[in-house]
Amino acid sequence: MHIMEGYLPAFWCVVWYLASLPFVAYGAWQVSKIFREHPEQKIIMAVSGAFIFVLSSLKLPSVFGSSSHPTGTGLSAMLFGFSVTSVLATIVLVFQALLLVHGGITTLGADVFSMGIVGPFVGYYIFKLLRKFGIALPLTAFVAAVLADWATYLTTSLQLALAVPGGNVETLFIYFGGIFALTQIPIAIGEGILIWMFFDFLLKSRPKLLKQLLGEKQNSTEASA
């Protein structure tokens, strides 16, 4: 969910920039480390970034000052972690703001925080948790992608609620979240199905590559999940 240019008060623009900066800086260090130690993963990371760009560009009008769309960040979060995803999302959001008039530079910090940090953070740790319980990989990927998307829109709802001068934050949060839910629930499920199909394909066709990316032993029975 992109908050559009000019919607946020200057105070909140600064707050979200400052909140996002440490994560993006650490993510940039992580990206350079991966490039240095695992150069063969550059292509997969580039594909993950392109996936974020394509899906998040498919926007639908939503509440005033924002839009609804798939985020695409769940894939990168599961493969590379949420810090790397924050960098990929930042690159995507800058290009969208400059070339597609989607989001904005003043709201970039807020959009990065919701779509590039909170969503991937939730998706990454849900993915890790479900894997510990031995849940089949495609199903795990589906759940993680859906929850990453929903976490993003809940964060955006909070950001919008905080931006309304003199408003009741709790009431506004419920209001914005309820309106987002009309479009974001089915969008997130659709995104989760796409991620399910992607992981199922890799599991069946490139199990060794997937094992390397995830850094875990693959269960041979998962290919049939």
Give the CATH number for residue 117: 1.10.1760.20
Whether residue 62 is contained in a domain is answered as: yes
Whether residue 4 is contained in a domain is answered as: no
How many domains does the chain fold into? 1
The percent of residues above 70 in pLDDT, for the chain, comes to 91
The percent of residues above 90 in pLDDT, for the chain, comes to 53
**Per residue in 189-219, pLDDT tens?**
999 999 999 888 888 887 777 777 777 544 4
pLDDT of residue 218: 41
Q: How far apart are CA 136 and CA 141, in angstroms?
A: 9
| Residue 129 vs residues 27, 76, 83, 197: alpha-carbon distances, Å | 22, 17, 18, 20
Whether residue 199 is contained in a domain is answered as: yes
pLDDT of residue 220: 37
Whether residue 3 is contained in a domain is answered as: no
**What's the pTM?**
0.86
Structure tokens at 167: 């408003």
Ramachandran category for residue 2: left, alpha or beta (phi over 0 → left; psi -120 to 50 → alpha):
beta
Whether residue 5 is contained in a domain is answered as: no
Q: Which of 29-33, 55-59, 218-222 has the lowest mean pLDDT?
A: 218-222
Q: Which of 3-17, 26-40, 130-144 has the lowest mean pLDDT?
A: 3-17
Whether residue 211 is contained in a domain is answered as: yes
Whether residue 27 is contained in a domain is answered as: yes
Q: Buried b vs exposed e over 31-59: b needs ≥16 C-beta within 10 Å?
A: beebeeeeeebeebbeebbebbbebbbeb
What is the residue range of 191's domain? Answer: 10-224
* Helix 137-163, helix 169-205: angle, nearest 10: 160
pLDDT tier for residue 125 given thresholds of 50, 70 and 90: very high
